[in-house]
Amino acid sequence: MRAMRVVGVALIFGIVLGCTGNAADNQAAEDRPRHRVVECLHVIDIVSDELLGEFYSAHGMDGGFIALPSGQLQLGRSGPEGSGFEDYRFAKFGLLVRRAQQASLEIVKAPGGAFLDYGQGEFGTADALTAGPCDSHGPACEAGSAEYVGGWPCGADRGEWIVWAGGIWVDAPGCVELLASSDDEEIPVQLPVGTSCT
């Protein structure tokens, strides 16, 4: 009888460990960035190098793989009611990725809570995102043509940079440190959100 109790206790202990996992594994899962893939279907525009102008700076070799705002971002609306992020404010900016490349963007450090919000779908947090590459020529503009793809900007072959709408949510203004990466390149970028990076 005693042997059965020992076996029973060992079995229950094994099940508990199997269900809860190792505390270090759980902590490692919590430490990983929450990641979102931004789909090509959610592209809102295509722009040329000339249109980057004074408002966006390209980052990376050979003309860059990602372009981000070069000036201070303004804080706008508050988080949705009932979301748990009512104290957060949104700073809107387009995410520009060179159309033939894949780029990743990750929040490395922020003065408080911060997360990226791009693509469509339900409101949610993402510390990191990946976007591109997207079709380099795009569909024809005529809705009845065989090449037409609904949801894609008309004349998508007119520029080098694919644009997604979105931005960053923060619970305090400050300088947000990002890491932009593509292939073998990793570039630290500072994003002034509601204040300057000085």
The predicted structure's pLDDT at residue 99 = 87
Query: Helix, strand, coil % (nearest 5) of the chain?
Result: 20, 35, 45
Position 19 scores a pLDDT of 37
Three-state SS letters, 89-105: EEEECCEEEECCCCEEE
What pLDDT is stored for residue 141 in this prediction? Answer: 57
Among 2-6, 11-15, 121-125, 150-154, name the one with the lowest average pLDDT: 11-15
The reported pLDDT for the residue numbered 47 is 86
Choosing among 3.30.1330, 2.60.40, 3.30.700, 1.20.1290, the CATH entry for 38-193 is 2.60.40
pLDDT at 110: 96
- Residue 87, pLDDT score: 95
Give the model's confidence band at 148: pLDDT under 50 very low, under 70 low, under 90 confident, else very high. low
- Calculate the average pLDDT of the chain: 79
- pLDDT at position 12 is 36
pTM (predicted TM-score) = 0.74
Query: Cis omega (within 30 of 0) on the bond before 133?
Result: yes
DSSP secondary structure string, 123-140?
Answer: ----SEEEE----SS---
154 pLDDT more than 70 = no
Residue ranges of domains in the chain: 1-32, 38-193
Q: Which position has the higher pLDDT, 121 or 109?
A: 109
Higher pLDDT, 179 or 80: 179
At 198 the pLDDT is 80
pLDDT, tens digit, 9 for 90 and up, residues 21-60: 334 433 333 454 588 999 888 888 888 888 888 899 999 9
